[in-house]
């Protein structure tokens, strides 16, 4: 069966695809990442330290080929001996592997830290424990009333079988209208309602990808995206997102080198960095993806969480007609609705519908009616929820500045969390484990890395009332004290036994 995404360039998987190119980092970007090492004495040590941090942080993803020693001398203004010695140090410490013919590739000394430890299990949280593993809020006011109105509308659906494989028509229309309001012409026929965005990604993966396909994915990114793509057999090609957004020169190179089947992007208040891709970058990236024959798969789950406002940004699909967009009510309305959607390119919904039926035969009717009710009142984020998130964010920022000033983070215009850089003496994994002992669950940076690293980064969602955010930071500060003093033995009973890892 074809993918049905006719008209787009299709790669035919393992048989005819060109040999996969090892991802590379350019000499120019490497120089930007390491800074002015030429001024340090000894320069080779400064270069080795800076590269080690960049690999450990995930700014140079594991598996990426570094520039040749000769190529790096010019942009860094150092001698070839300096680069050679720095690379030797990295090789000895396990951060670089050199093989004849494939150059020097970034590695990590021990097994990848993707999963990290601590704070990954929001289920069964013991009383008094603050759970910041989920970047999601409680239900907004009005949900019960929306359910009551939906129940009143339910009888008109009861004479049918209830298998609405495409979705409830009124909801599909409300979703299409929301796209039109955001500047993207869309009809209800382009929309497939799913049981949330992750389920939507599963549908898209089944429709579009075959085992062995190369798929570009941002690094860091939402962990369940990585898991879903790996489950689909994709070979992932990381596209680095810096704390302040995308380096478009680098992104273009990654996209061209990967020549992937698809690229999964979160351009709107990216999880976990919160970065918002500006329109001109969207246009550039869309052009690069089109040239590479790569289908953009755009996860807009957080797109409505524009807290501060600012110049409106067009949906990515307005720049890329072939884009498949995934949306969700989980952040704008409530995660408990388990309702999301996929917006297909014009006329390309059918393969998505065919792919969905191997997973489920439709989303629950009642929840779709509830979301239609909620969207009628407030198609995007409600003003009350916006105010709550802004207050929680302000409390988090102030508490960090007071209590943990050595933790640095940019405050993005929107989104649900801050992506915090820890000082060099704090590992995010160790901090998350110690925080658990203090009754705080957080997801450590490596959980958001495609292939390990990011252990100096911590995601802190601002989704609880301000007092809880302040208390969370106090617990984090106590945990940092434990890590620094080596007192990190876990207390028993902080939370019940975890059932399965989950980060939202």
The residues that touch ligand PLP, with contacts defined as CB under 6 A, are 135, 196-198, 222, 266, 271, 299, 301-302, 328, 330, 335, 340, 504
Angle at which helices 197-208 and 223-231 cross, to 10°: 30
Q: Which residue, 295 or 330, is less far from ligand PLP as judged by CB? A: 330
Q: Which residue, 63 or 274, is less far from ligand PLP as judged by CB? A: 274
CA distance 335 to 203: 19
Structural contact between residues 273 and 307, judged by C-beta atoms closer than 8 angstroms: no
Q: Which residue, 182 or 333, is less far from ligand PLP as judged by CB? A: 333
Structural contact between residues 482 and 425, judged by C-beta atoms closer than 8 angstroms: no
Q: Which residue, 186 or 301, is less far from ligand PLP as judged by CB? A: 301
Residue 340 CB, nearest approach to ligand PLP (Å): 4
Q: Which residue, 252 or 300, is less far from ligand PLP as judged by CB? A: 300
At residue 80, what are phi and psi to the nearest 5 degrees? -65, -35
Q: Which residue, 176 or 198, is less far from ligand PLP as judged by CB? A: 198
Pairing of strands 340-343, 324-328: antiparallel
Residue 470 CB, nearest approach to ligand PLP (Å): 23
Cis peptide before 236 (omega within 30 of 0): no
Considering only CA atoms, which of 329, 325, 307, 306 is closest in space to residue 316? 325
Residue 399 CB, nearest approach to ligand PLP (Å): 23
Q: Which residue, 88 or 360, is less far from ligand PLP as judged by CB? A: 360
Residue 335 CB, nearest approach to ligand PLP (Å): 5
Q: Which residue, 108 or 203, is less far from ligand PLP as judged by CB? A: 203
Residue 380 CB, nearest approach to ligand PLP (Å): 15
Residue 299 CB, nearest approach to ligand PLP (Å): 5
Residue 120's SS3 state is: coil
Nearest residue to the partner ligand PLP, using Cβ? 196
CA dihedral 452, 476, 132, 460 (to 10 degrees): -60
Structural contact between residues 21 and 257, judged by C-beta atoms closer than 8 angstroms: yes
Structural contact between residues 401 and 441, judged by C-beta atoms closer than 8 angstroms: no
At residue 245, what are phi and psi to the nearest 5 degrees? 125, -155
Residue 29 CB, nearest approach to ligand PLP (Å): 25
Q: How far is CA 423 from CA 133, 401, 408, in A?
A: 21, 14, 8
CA distance 452 to 220: 10
* Rounded to 5°, angle at Cα 470 from 468 and 472: 65
Residue 201 CB, nearest approach to ligand PLP (Å): 7
């Amino acid at each position: 069966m074809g993918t049905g995404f006719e008209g787009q360039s299709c790669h035919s998987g393992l048989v005819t695809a060109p040999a996969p190119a090892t991802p590379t980092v350019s000499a120019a970007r490497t120089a930007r990442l390491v800074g002015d090492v030429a001024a340090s004495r000894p320069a080779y040590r400064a270069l080795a330290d800076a590269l080690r941090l960049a690999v450990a942080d995930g700014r140079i993803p594991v598996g990426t080929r570094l520039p040749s020693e000769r190529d790096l001398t010019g942009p860094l203004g150092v001698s070839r001996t300096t680069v050679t010695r720095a690379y030797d140090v990295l090789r000895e410490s396990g951060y670089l592997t050199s093989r004849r013919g494939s150059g020097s590739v970034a590695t990590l000394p021990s097994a990848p830290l993707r999963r990290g430890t601590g704070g990954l299990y929001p289920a069964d949280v013991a009383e008094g424990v603050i759970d910041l593993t989920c970047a999601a809020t409680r239900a907004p006011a009005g949900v019960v009333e929306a359910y009551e109105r939906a129940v009143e509308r339910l009888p008109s659906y009861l004479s049918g079988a209830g298998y609405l494989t495409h979705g409830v028509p009124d909801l599909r229309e409300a979703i299409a209208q929301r796209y039109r309001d955001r500047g993207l012409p869309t009809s209800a026929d382009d929309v497939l309602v799913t049981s949330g965005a992750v389920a939507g990604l599963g549908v898209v993966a089944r429709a579009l990808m075959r085992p062995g396909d190369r798929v570009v994915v941002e690094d860091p990114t939402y962990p369940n995206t990585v898991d879903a793509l790996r489950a689909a057999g994709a070979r992932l090609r990381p596209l680095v997102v810096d704390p302040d957004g995308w380096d478009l020169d680098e992104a273009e190179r990654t996209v061209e080198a990967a020549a992937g089947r698809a690229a999964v992007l979160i351009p709107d208040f990216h999880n976990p960095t919160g970065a918002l891709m500006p329109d001109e970058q969207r246009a550039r990236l869309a052009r690069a993806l089109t040239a590479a024959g790569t289908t953009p798969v755009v996860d807009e789950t957080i797109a409505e969480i524009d807290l501060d406002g600012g110049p409106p940004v067009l949906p990515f699909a307005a720049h890329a007609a072939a884009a498949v967009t995934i949306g969700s009510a989980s952040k704008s309305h409530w995660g408990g609705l388990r309702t999301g959607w996929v917006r297909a390119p014009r006329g390309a919904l059918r393969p998505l519908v065919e792919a969905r039926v191997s997973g489920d035969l439709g989303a629950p009717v009642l929840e779709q009616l509830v979301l239609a009710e909620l969207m009628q009142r407030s198609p995007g984020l409600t003003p009350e929820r916006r105010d709550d998130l802004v207050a929680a964010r302000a409390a988090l920022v102030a508490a960090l500045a007071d209590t943990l000033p050595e933790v640095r983070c940019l405050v993005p215009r929107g989104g649900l969390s801050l992506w915090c850089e820890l000082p060099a003496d704090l590992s995010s994994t160790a901090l998350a484990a110690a925080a658990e002992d203090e009754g705080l669950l957080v997801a450590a940076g490596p959980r958001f890395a495609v292939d390990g690293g990011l252990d100096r980064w911590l995601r802190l969602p601002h989704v609880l009332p301000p007092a809880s955010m302040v208390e969370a930071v106090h617990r984090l500060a106590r945990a940092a004290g434990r890590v620094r003093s080596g007192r990190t033995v876990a207390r028993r009973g902080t939370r019940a036994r975890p059932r399965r890892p989950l980060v939202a």
